[in-house]
Structure 1
Amino acid sequence: MPAHLDLAKTYTHADMILSSRKSPRLSLRPAPFTSLDKSPLSSTSSRFNFNHLIVSPPPSPGLPALVPRHGKPIPTHTPRRCLRAALWLAGVLVILYYGFSRLQLDHGMKPVGWATHSGDQYEMVGESELPDFPTPVVVTDGRGRAKWTVSIPPDHEFPLEPKQYAEICTQNMEVANHVADLHSHIHHQHAAHYGYYHVDPNFMDVAEAEVHGLLPGPKAKTSMKEHGSLIGEKKDGLIESGVCEKTMTFLLETHDAGLGKMLMMLWTAYGLAQKEGRHFFIDDSRWVYGKYTNFFKAPPLPACRPPPRHEMLPCPHHARHLVVSAVTAAQTFGGAFNEEFENPRKMEVYRQKPVFDLARQGYQALFRLNEADQKYVDERSLSLLDKTLRPPPEDQNGIIVGIHVRHGDRHPYEFQYRDSYVPLDRYAEKAQDLLHNAFNDSNGDGEVNAMAEAHSLFVVASDDPEVYESEEFSHASRAQEQIRLASNKVLESSKPSPAAAIRKFVEDSVGWEGGFFAGMFWSLGKPTSVPATAVEAPDTKLPPTEEALRLRELVGRAYLMDLAVLGRASDRVVCTVSSMGCKLLAVMMGWENAVVDGRWVNIDGDFEWRGVSW
């Protein structure tokens, strides 16, 4: 038999043996024929064939069924897989959030550095050295955390220009918001304003910044130019006192020619300094009226000395050494100040009691006229009071009704008189009513004490000389006669006759028809070629002449003595609350007399007493 036939029989026999060993219970069906079932072209391809992985054999009877029994769905998501997916999703969202936040922060904020003023926009510009002008700066502490402070060159002239103080306060707000955004890693909308005693945790005081080496230290202080003079500073002494812990320096400078607004601000600032435990100083180097000591006695001297001038900041308010001036009135006496000190549990004018008390404290400490003027005020007040006394055994004396009339460039609040002035007959009628009510039923039998009323006086103070000559007040007494603001009509009548051969020299005089006007004030001391009534804006760069200061001093002293006599001698006061002098008179009378007892009467509408106007 040929060999190949034997081999075929052998293979056939083997097949029979395998078939006989199969379980009779297992019925196998061949899978449908596909192209994948083709025999390999070679032994190599047959050895590495993956067809058995693609076409799976039927499941074994002992393995779990692919289709769950009883119709249950196939569990496709396990709790671990859901948790993993949630974590991945949260991570992606966090990455996207910080990415967009960083893009928004980088787009909205400028690089850290010095704050400079460019037009109406404030930008942060990186620099390697401190600027040579006053400006807030951003610094970093030892841990790399951003802080901000105010850099004023130690050799800079003091006080700064009013515009510079205003710019520093505006820039401080921008820089404070910028540093707050750096700490929060996001640019968000900041509050319109904070509480009056809000403390910015990112602010570093000048002295603290110097200790950390972030600003020039004590060596740079030796070249400081201190041209300004501080009232209350001890300049002579064998032992130099230490620097005050906390101070407030009030700058007597304003573009407003009026004296009343400055006085109210000065008194309130002093009371505020006492409440906050600050030592108080006054700077008069740029006061339009001249030297403070020409009008008042020096304020009480503290036991310490003022700080270096470059440490005096206009804001923030919690700075150790604060500067207060007319240009920073909105920061010091603005809305936050009223929210802090007004009494919310009271109604109407009684809400202003805490603010009134601050001004009253300043009046009692600072309103001390120079020796000559104070002597005249005392004598004038006593002479007026003597006229109201009745001889014994009468115990009912007359009273003094003070009347303050403000004309000039100050118009009333009341709508119908806002373009003119309150008529003088309203002053006279209200004064007469107060006088009548004071003695009505004073004897207990319903009769008026006519004798006491006859011994009463009307005392008038006004910036308009024509008021004294009016029909309503021609019989009234002047508050003071030491310095008079005369009208042109009076000046013409007082001139010597041209027929006289020899006459004494008479200075040029200026009439005050209509009252006190800012243009008239600024023109004092000008050459005669310039019209005396010319309205000119003050040029603060040019110092006033000695003649201008002398005339301004006379105007200021007349105003102060008018207030001093009315505030001291008057039992009742009639005035218009639109005038700052009227508000000052209320402070001088005191809260009980002026408000509680109603002896301070306003005839300018239904408006009430308020303090500093800004």
Structure 2
Amino acid sequence: MAPTMDFSQGTHPKVMIAPPRLNLRRAASYQGEKAPTSSTSSRFNFNHLIFSSPPPSPGLPALVPRPRKSSSAPRPSRVLRVLVWTTGLATFLLLIRALIHGGKRIPVVGWAFEDGEGYEMVRQNEPPEFPTPVTVSDRHGKPKWTVYIPPTSQFPLSMKEYSNMCDKCQEVASHVRELRGQSHLSRQTPHDYYYEDPNFIDVRDAEKRGLLPGTETNTRKIGVQAQDGHLMGQRKEGLADLETCRTSITVVLESSDAGLGPTLMMLWTAYGLAQKEKRAFFIEDSRWAYGRYMDIFKSSPVQNCRPPPRYQMLPCPRNAKHLVVSAATSREVFGNSFAAKYENTKRTDINRERGVYDLARVGYEALFHLNDDDQPYVRGRVKDLRARASVPQGNYNDGTIIGVHVRQGDVHPFEYQYNGAYIPLDLYAQKSKELIEERHNSSTPLGGEDVVAKQYSFMVVASDNPDVYEADEFKNAFRAQEQIKLAGKQDAETVVSDPSMMHKFVDEAFGWEGGFFASMFWNLGRTTLHNADALDDVSQEPETPSADAMRLRGLIARAYMMDLAVLGEASDTVICTMSAMGCRLLAVMMGWDKAMAHGNWINIDGDFMWTGVTL
């Protein structure tokens, strides 16, 4: 009998070692033959079925796996290979995208406004779709900042957009200083008006350096949008032949304040500032509450250069090459640093404000030219008043013309005891009488000639309240102008209809009793049928005013301007209240020597000196 296979001495559990006498003939089960099925084959077992490998054969390779050669560089895992391939693909796609976009560099951080309550820094791969300051990286990888206004944005931007952008400019500038470790520079900016932020890049320069989309790209996007707005000060013909202005200031005549005085003072001062800084000057009036500028004044001086693209006109920072000035951005231009620059802080008298006054005076001389209908009337009115004050030949002194400006309405005095009401009219009249007595005192060497001159002295009154002209204190005074009068309620009800006939319903008449009120101004042209839509916030208009409303507003502006023009040119002395901006405008119109040096501008509203732009 053939010996059985013994596995007890094996050293490997899955390897069979054949004894020398083992017949090496292939087993039938591996030759396609059937295994013995006889029950008498008791020594036959099924151990060969336990192993997955066939018995060893001298002609076959060894069943023991060969050890692999060790490698010094381990093979990367499948996850790592996938990550590398993904990164490479993403890099390739970004490169293709950059080539498609012309290789332009994109601002990496913008500032988005959320819910009117705060700002949030957001990372972007494309220029933002709204006006905002953005941070960019220069060619050395250092952070800079600029202001991006989409070329298709409407010009001018809304007051809210301009105001928000000025706040954002300060935040972004501070953020960039922190990134560059220049936090100490922030302490310089409030004190130096002409300080230039070294981290700011103007729009035009940013385009040239590839930090913002270039001019050609913007031109394709702008189309007709480049001509938005209504600019004055530019030529009507031959504009394409001029070079673009190197620097400029554009004043946007839009304000939530219904009063005309603050806008006019800002306009004059901005013009003087533009001349001081050698900037071109433009006026934009497409959304002015009083209508077209040239319906009231003649055009501003024409510039010898072309205004820049509108998206390059920025509200901030103050050292931007093309600066936009409006009521919403006035603090950026006329804030504390402006006062520190142009006020003589070493003086405590009126000369302290001489620098600011001179800027406003330059603007007045260049811009205050009434339209062709009103200017001849003013000239004739001044001539007539001067003739009334002229003493017949043989006397050396003429009478004194005392101009009186009375502002009531929603402007109240600074002086505490009258703050809740108005300066009493008898104070104006009493001060006027004192001035006439002082200047035409019969005790002077001229004797009786001064008595005659006193008889030729009188008051000229301008007021926003029609009832003032009828007051007893001014019964012998003259109106400044009679071309356009603000009617009271009694004047509006003078038309008496026949009670025996039926008439169409007419709104209840109203006048300007009490003076100029902002709420009444914003509701001009609205009927009582729309009282349910009355404004809760008179600083914003709910809709575009009608043509009739704009006509009424224009008449108010013309009357106000003619009042000031007559008082400023005809009066020897002006009495007014500092709380009214019209009073401060009159000081500018009179000139420094006449108004300040000789003391012919008299404020009866507390002990206050003249000031210019009010923020």
TM class, shorter-length = 0.7 to 0.9
Equivalence for 1:42: none
1:228 partner amino acid: G
Equivalence for 1:195: 192
- 112, 116, 123: which is aligned to 2:112? 116
> Do residues 512 (structure 1) and 512 (structure 2) align?
yes
Matches within 5 A, 1:28-427: 113-119=109-115, 120-184=117-181, 193-219=190-216, 220-224=218-222, 225=225, 226-237=227-238, 240-427=241-428
Maintained 8 Å contact 1:411/1:578: yes
SS at 1:472's partner residue? helix
Distance 1:434 1:315, change over 3 A: same
SS at 1:529's partner residue? helix
Distance 1:535 1:180, change over 3 A: closer
Cα deviation for residue 116 of structure 1 reads 1.4
SS at 1:327's partner residue? coil
Distance across 2 between alignment mates of 1:222 and 1:371: 41
Maintained 8 Å contact 1:523/1:533: no
Equivalence for 2:526: 526
Deviates most, 391-400 or 323-332: 391-400
Cα deviation for residue 296 of structure 1 reads 0.3
1:526 partner amino acid: R
Distance 1:421 1:301, change over 3 A: same
> Do residues 439 (structure 1) and 436 (structure 2) align?
no
Distance across 2 between alignment mates of 1:239 and 1:192: 38
Deviates most, 533-542 or 382-391: 533-542
> Do residues 602 (structure 1) and 603 (structure 2) align?
yes
CA-to-aligned-CA distance 1:396-415 (integer Å, 9 cap, x gap): 21121000000000000000
Distance across 1 between alignment mates of 2:379 and 2:343: 35
**Unaligned runs of at least 5 residues, structure 2:** 1-106
Distance across 2 between alignment mates of 1:532 and 1:409: 23
With normalisation by structure 1, the TM-score equals: 0.78
Cα deviation for residue 443 of structure 1 reads 4.3
Cα deviation for residue 541 of structure 1 reads 5.7
Distance 1:167 1:504, change over 3 A: closer
Cα deviation for residue 559 of structure 1 reads 0.6
Cα deviation for residue 238 of structure 1 reads 7.5
CA RMSD of aligned residues (A): 2.5
> Do residues 593 (structure 1) and 591 (structure 2) align?
no
Distance across 2 between alignment mates of 1:503 and 1:234: 52
1:419 partner amino acid: G
Distance 1:222 1:441, change over 3 A: farther
SS at 1:249's partner residue? strand
Distance across 2 between alignment mates of 1:344 and 1:190: 20
Distance across 1 between alignment mates of 2:467 and 2:184: 62
Cα deviation for residue 221 of structure 1 reads 2.5
SS at 2:251's partner residue? strand
Maintained 8 Å contact 1:487/1:511: yes
Distance across 1 between alignment mates of 2:349 and 2:231: 39
Distance 1:326 1:239, change over 3 A: closer
**Unaligned runs of at least 5 residues, structure 1:** 1-110
Distance across 1 between alignment mates of 2:450 and 2:385: 20
Distance 1:189 1:301, change over 3 A: closer
Distance 1:497 1:272, change over 3 A: same
Distance across 2 between alignment mates of 1:532 and 1:586: 42
SS at 2:472's partner residue? coil
Distance across 2 between alignment mates of 1:368 and 1:347: 34
Distance 1:451 1:189, change over 3 A: closer
Deviates most, 378-387 or 340-349: 340-349
Distance across 1 between alignment mates of 2:134 and 2:496: 66
Maintained 8 Å contact 1:510/1:532: no
Distance 1:505 1:395, change over 3 A: farther
CA-to-aligned-CA distance 1:154-197 (integer Å, 9 cap, x gap): 11110111111111111111111111112128899856834211
Distance 1:186 1:505, change over 3 A: closer
CA-to-aligned-CA distance 1:83-138 (integer Å, 9 cap, x gap): xxxxxxxxxxxxxxxxxxxxxxxxxxxx9611112343323221111101011111
Maintained 8 Å contact 2:291/2:554: yes
Deviates most, 536-545 or 205-214: 536-545
Distance across 2 between alignment mates of 1:265 and 1:186: 33
Distance across 1 between alignment mates of 2:560 and 2:204: 42
Maintained 8 Å contact 2:415/2:606: yes
Maintained 8 Å contact 2:399/2:453: yes
Distance 1:366 1:383, change over 3 A: same
SS at 1:449's partner residue? helix
Distance 1:317 1:535, change over 3 A: same
Deviates most, 599-608 or 534-543: 534-543
Distance across 2 between alignment mates of 1:547 and 1:121: 40
Matches within 5 A, 1:407-486: 407-440=408-441, 443-444=444-445, 449-486=450-487
CA-to-aligned-CA distance 1:253-312 (integer Å, 9 cap, x gap): 001000001101100010011001101000001100100000000011011110000000
Maintained 8 Å contact 2:256/2:540: no
Cα deviation for residue 227 of structure 1 reads 2.4
CA-to-aligned-CA distance 1:181-231 (integer Å, 9 cap, x gap): 121288998568342111100110100000111112112124321321101
2:203 partner amino acid: V
CA-to-aligned-CA distance 1:358-404 (integer Å, 9 cap, x gap): 00110000000001000110111111111111221222211210000
SS at 1:244's partner residue? coil
Equivalence for 1:49: none
Maintained 8 Å contact 2:378/2:565: yes
SS at 1:303's partner residue? coil
Distance across 1 between alignment mates of 2:482 and 2:365: 24
Maintained 8 Å contact 1:520/1:534: no
Cα deviation for residue 236 of structure 1 reads 2.3
Equivalence for 1:549: 550
SS at 1:285's partner residue? coil
SS at 1:273's partner residue? helix
Maintained 8 Å contact 1:519/1:534: no
Distance 1:187 1:304, change over 3 A: closer
Distance across 2 between alignment mates of 1:184 and 1:574: 55
Distance 1:535 1:476, change over 3 A: farther
Distance 1:213 1:235, change over 3 A: farther
1:461 partner amino acid: A
SS at 2:373's partner residue? helix
SS at 2:290's partner residue? coil
1:168 partner amino acid: M
1:221 partner amino acid: T
1:428 partner amino acid: A
Matches within 5 A, 1:574-585: 574-585=575-586
